[in-house]
Structure 1
Amino acid sequence: MSELRDLRLFIAAATHGGFRGAARVTGVPVSTISEAVRRIEDRLGVRLLHRTTRSVALTEAGRALLERIVPALEGVESALESAAGFGRGPRGTLRLNVPGAVTRKILPPILTGFLKAYPDISVDLTVNDSLVDVLSEGADAGIRYGETLAQDVIAVPIGPRVQRGATAASADYIARHGAPQHPRELLSHACIRTRFPGGALTEWEFERDGEVLSVDPSGPLTVSTQAAEIAIATAVSGLGIVASFEAWLRPALDDGRLLPVLESWWPTFEGPFLYYSSRHHMPLPLRAFVDFVKAWPRS
């Protein structure tokens, strides 16, 4: 087991820019990681990492070992987990990286059902709207929408398969400014925008009878994608038109705090996916979650 730990620390140093990067990710002291790599090198009689005062880089032997050892080591650990799991259910920690868009309506019932079904599994949930490789960030799996998924992942549908965008404004706003009859008329209205963490504004996209168009309106408020409640509340107060998921606006639409705007132009799009690497053996908590999601009823 100590040799497996040394190999894991070597992989961390090789994939995270050296000993300090590996220490940040693993929580293991730099000196411990350095000693682990040196033990492997002494055992093999070959240098695996070039070390300078400023950087650490793989040697040719180190690169060859890394390519072979990652899948092999994951296979060993998966086998050990499976053996340990006989006689009891899966246990451990499942690390998920998800966008804010799934945390309000889609994920909560699935996650609470899963935790009740698997009391020995804990979930470490990170909410991140950035378009990053969440698997390289240390997550076992991520949830994203189809257009942002990489080609080399396994994707499992999660939540509703069809969602709809919506635009709405308060009766007071419409009484004062009128209701736009075409998406381009939004350019002359006060619109409440949302922005991704990387700085890009979310698109206002519309579709009708096969015609698809985007507009880039402006208005009194721009908020992070994780502050959608503020955008909706601002629209309810009469300060502008908001665009969001229909499911998020539906309570305010149903009770009259908001009125639909350009409803015949509201776009539909495919729901999100749970995804994980096709190159890795699945930890038992992830396997349990994937099976649970596959069995979850979808609309």
Structure 2
Amino acid sequence: MNRENYNDLQAFLLVAQERSFTRAAARLGVSQSALSHTMRQLESRLGVRLLTRTTRSVSPTEAGERLLQALAPNFENIHAALLGLGEFRDTPSGTIRITTSEHAARRVLWPVLRTFLAKYPEVRVEVISDSTLTDIVAERFDAGIRLGEQVAQDMIATPIGPPTRLVVVGTPDYLRARPAIATPRDLVAHDCINLRFLTHGGLYAWEFEKDGHALNVRVEGRLVFNSIDRILDAALAGFGLGYLPEDMVAPHIARGALRQVLDDWCPLFPGYHLYYPSRRQPSQAFALLVEALRWRGP
């Protein structure tokens, strides 16, 4: 194949990985129709169909999957080699892609980025906030930010925030009108605002611990969200109890808008960590960001 067709192979790689012409075209900065035309030309030159197209999705054929498995590691090596050239620059540069929860982005990431980006003007950072536990390798993120207990064992993880905990809160009016809460089991008599994980579709079981005894409670209620910001809004509006990060609700507790219950059942657990694959060779810009984010205690 002629050298000028390597761009077509990279385009195929993105379509096959994204399973979408729309997302792949956005990443390449071309129109969807132009990308589709490129794929048809590539298939014509190779004499084999690489992609199965439907009105809703696109996926590699058997031949396409074989080509995908051959191409992916080689393009990753090329990308890593190009990033490595940044070590020879006087000024750190490049793009860093991070997946994180909205709470972590607001509380720990953005305060650091404001200073970091001002110091390193040639570094670009793309932050994708969602509630899913994203596969950072498959989705080609440089790093992820999640609570320490959620980080896979095969990742390098750096603490970037203090230990934290979730607490149960409700409005004074709601709590006065409902049965008293002495233990987590009393929550079954209450409207609890659930959190749904988009990764696997399940509802989060509220986790408690006291005197070494752990207890997970599957709570019930009329509202389910995939965002803790929406859960806070609903709790403040009196629609039930929320189980939320302590630092998030502290201002509302201080002004009397929320009251906390089951305090002695809410344990501390590892705070937010930045994590990335152990086989990843960090670029200069990425290594500097890791150091800037690293939690060094109070």
Give the TM interval when normalised to the shorter protein: 0.7 to 0.9
1:26 aligns with 2:28: yes
Distance 1:7 1:21, change over 3 A: farther
> Which residue matches 1:187?
188
Match in the other structure for 1:169: 170
Report the counterpart of residue 297 of structure 2 in structure 1.
Answer: 298
Q: Does 1:142 align with 2:123?
A: no
TM-superposed deviation, 1:185: 0.7
Are 1:286 and 2:291 counterparts? Answer: no
Distance in 2 separating the partners of 1:116 and 1:53: 43
Residue 78 of structure 1 aligns with an amino acid whose one-letter code is L
Q: 1:53 to 1:95 in 2, by over 3 A?
A: closer
**Structure 2 residue corresponding to 1:204, chosen from 189, 203, 206:** 206
What SS is found at the alignment partner of 1:270? Answer: coil
- Give the CA deviation at 1:121: 1.6
The yes-or-no answer on 1:10 pairing with 2:9 is yes
Query: Could you tell me how far apart the structure 2 residues matched to 1:122 and 1:52 are?
Result: 33
Provide the residue aligned with 2:102 in structure 1: 100
* Cα deviation, residue 207, structure 1: 0.7
Q: Residue 44 of structure 1 aligns with which residue? A: none
Shift in Å, 1:19: 11
For structure 1, the 5+ residue unaligned runs are: 40-46
Check 1:136–1:65 CA distance in 2 against 1; reply closer, same or farther (3 A cut).
Answer: closer
The runs of at least 4 aligned residues of structure 1 exceeding 6 Å deviation read 33-39
Q: From 108, 111, 116, give the equivalent of 1:109.
A: 111
Q: Which moved more, 1:60-69 or 1:92-101?
A: 60-69
Provide Cα deviations, 1:246-295, integer angstroms capped at 9, x if missing partner. 1111111111111111111112211121122233332333222123223x
Kindly tell me: are residues 188 and 90 of structure 1, through their superposed partners in 2, closer, same or farther at Cα, counting changes over 3 Å? same
Equivalent pair of 2:43/2:50 in contact (CA under 8 Å): no
| Counterparts in 2 of 1:230 and 1:108: CA distance versus 1, 3 Å | same
Percent of paired sites with the same residue: 31
Alpha-carbon separation, structure 1, partners of 2:17 and 2:192 = 47
User: Which secondary structure state, in structure 2, belongs to the residue aligned with residue 200 of structure 1?
Assistant: coil
Tell me which of 63, 71, 74 is aligned to 1:69.
74
For the residue of structure 2 that corresponds to 1:135, the secondary structure is coil
1:264/1:16 CA distance change after superposition, 3 Å? same
Whether the aligned pair in 2 keeps the contact of 1:194 and 1:222 (CA below 8 Å) is: yes
Structure 1 CA distance for aligned equivalents of residues 147 and 15 of structure 2: 27
1: CA distance, partners of 2:69 / 2:233: 56
- Using structure 1 for the length normalisation, give the TM-score: 0.78
Gaps of 5+ in 2: 53-59
Alignment partner of 2:95: what SS? strand
2:92 to 71, 87, 90: 90
C-alpha distance in 2 between matches for 1:96 and 1:26: 19
CA shift digits 1:223-262 (9 cap, x unpaired): 222xx33322332333322211111111111111111111
- Whether the aligned pair in 2 keeps the contact of 1:10 and 1:37 (CA below 8 Å) is no
Deviates more, 1:72-81 or 1:97-106: 72-81
Matched AA of 2:86: E
Query: What is the rounded CA distance, in whole Å, between the counterparts of 2:249 and 2:69 in structure 1?
Result: 53
